[in-house]
Amino acid sequence: MKRVEATVYGRVQGVSFRYYTQQKATHLNLTGWVANQSDGSVCVVAEGTEANLKQLLDFLHRGSPSAIVEKVSYTWHTPTNTFHKFSVRWQ
């Protein structure tokens, strides 16, 4: 098990990015959350197997159908195992 924390930059708000991310993460049996940030980026925190997290990172580089992803920065961490599902956070 691993944890990845990612920030996605570009046109990623108002294009169903969080919804598609939640759907993909749930399909991959990942736990964590996705949230819009005040600077226009989207933050993703996910835990699961490294293989499934890499698939999520691949998705984040493409984004939802209407998104324009310019950059994804991410870091690997030790999982906290505090999440029970993957959710959308409203900030």
- What residues are annotated to the active site? 18, 36
CA dihedral 90, 6, 19, 65 (to 10 degrees): 140
Place of tokens 């294009």: 15
| Dist CA 53 CA 18 (whole Å) | 16
Residue 19 and residue 65 in contact, taking contact as beta carbons nearer than 8 Å: no
